[in-house]
Structure 1
Amino acid sequence: MKYYLDITLLADAEANLGFLWQKVYQQIHLGLVENKISENQSAIAVSFPKYGDKTFPLGDKLRLLAEDKTQLQQLDTGKWLNRLTDYSHITSIKEVPLAVSQYACFSRKQFDTNAHRLAKRRAKRKTETLEKALEYFEGFTDKESKLPFINIKSLTKNEQFKLFIDCVITESSQQSDFNCYGLSKGGNIPWFL
């Protein structure tokens, strides 16, 4: 990844960071879907430069990175965030610093956190009644995660879910694909402030 732009979220009394992350990330996701290079694959990755911030776990900055400057230009971030101009600031496209010594892998983590949802899935897979599937999950305890997340609305299923985001910092770069959330299972991107 050689080029990037930053989006700073401007929280205030009316719109806190959690609300802004939901709105901004939803729009960026839609932009990545619109500009995908193949099925659920994006040429653009995301980074959270202030990940782990004490004030808010994801911080207040979203970074978009691409191999080519034109990929970021084609995304046209301003178009996707045009309704959020009072709550976001987009920088111009810049070159990634040459002296990067660390890389980050931002990935989605999924947890079995809802017994009813799991039962619905089991009933469908095993062609059994929902009641029988619910019996199977009787005594199920939800797993809690300390990972930061963004509330997202799936437009295909019309459901809300938590997009848990994990970060692993390494000293070596590794190429991989990025999904339409800009996340990867193993690909690293330059990590710098």
Structure 2
Amino acid sequence: MKYYLDITLLPDAEANLGFLWQRVYQQIHIALADNKIAENQSAIAVSFPKYGDKAFPLGDKLRLLADQQAQLEQLDIAKWLNRLTDYTHATSIKSVPSSVNEYACFKRKAVKSELKRTVSLANHLSKPVEEIVKFRQDNGLNQNSKLPFIHMESQKPTETGQKNKFRLFIERHLYDSSVEGNFDCYGLSKTATIPWF
């Protein structure tokens, strides 16, 4: 990845960071899907430069990266964020600094809800759910994910016609060297890295 642009989220009293992440990332996902290079494959990756921030786990900045400047130009991010101009600021496209010596992989992490996990275990063991809940509580086995997430809404309606709402959990791993791979239409990858700066 040789080129990037940053999008800064600008919260106010009416729109907090959680709300803005939901709105902005939904638009980014639609933009990447609209510009995909293959089935669920994007030429553009995302980065969260302030990942792990104490004030808000994803921070207030989203970075889009691409191998070619033309890929970011073609995406035309201003078009996708046109209804959010009061709450976002996008920089011009810049070259990735040549001094980068660390790389990050941002991946989607599937996190089963505590209820689903408990019901699944109860079914597997042929025990009442209440018994499993008590056992998990007594033994400190309730584990809610500490990973940052963004509330998302699937564009494909369910069988009932409603849109599926879900949490997109995002995990970061840091590396000393670059790893090649593919990015999905969320801009995330199971293996590929992006320059971390």
Same-fold status (TM-score > 0.5):
yes
Residue 81 (structure 2) pairs with residue 81 (structure 1): yes
SS of the residue aligned with 1:73? helix
Task: Please report the TM-score for the alignment, with normalisation by the length of structure 2.
Answer: 0.85
TM-score of the two chains, using structure 1 as the length reference = 0.87
**Structure 1 residue 143: deviation in Å?**
3.9
> Which of 159, 170, 179 pairs up with 2:184?
179
- What is the SS of the residue equivalent to 1:159? strand
Secondary structure class of the residue paired with 1:46: strand
- Report the counterpart of residue 152 of structure 2 in structure 1: 152
For residue 106 of structure 1, what is the amino acid of its counterpart? Answer: F
Structure 2 CA distance, aligned partners of 1:116 and 1:109? 16
Could you list the structure 1 runs, at least 4 aligned residues long, displaced by more than 3 angstroms after superposition: 114-119, 140-143
Report the counterpart of residue 129 of structure 1 in structure 2: none
2:118 & 2:184 partners in 1: Cα distance? 24
Contact 2:44 2:65 in 1 (8 A): yes
Q: What are the residue-to-residue correspondences of 1:65-76 with 2, within 5 Å?
A: 65-76=65-76
Is residue 105 of structure 2 the alignment partner of residue 105 of structure 1?
Answer: yes
Partner of 2:193: 188
For 1:161, the equivalent position in structure 2 comes to 166
Any stretches of 5+ residues in structure 2 without a counterpart?
137-141
Q: Does 1:27 align with 2:32?
A: no
Where 2:27 maps in the other structure, the secondary structure is helix
CA contact (8 A) 1:112 1:143 kept: no
Q: Contact between 1:103 and 1:191, CA under 8 Å: does it hold in 2?
A: yes
Q: Can you give the 5+ residue segments of structure 1 that lack an aligned partner in the other structure?
A: 123-131
CA contact (8 A) 1:105 1:189 kept: yes
Deviation at 1:64, TM superposition (A): 0.1
2:36 corresponds to: 36
Distance 1:56 1:37 in 2: 32
Query: In structure 2, what is the Cα distance between the partners aligned to 1:115 and 1:49?
Result: 32
> Aligned-pair distance for 1:30?
0.1
Give the deviation of 1:114 after TM superposition: 5.5
- Judged with a 3 Å threshold, the aligned counterparts in structure 2 of structure 1 residues 4 and 109 are, in CA distance, closer, same or farther, namely same
Quickly say closer, same or farther: Cα 1:99–1:113, change in 2 above 3 A: same
1:112–1:118 contact (8 Å) kept in structure 2 = no
How many pairs does the alignment contain? Answer: 180
Specify the code of the residue in structure 1 equivalent to 2:185. C
Q: Is the 8 A contact 2:29 2:186 kept in 1?
A: yes
Identity of aligned residues (%): 62
* Partner SS, residue 155 of structure 1: strand
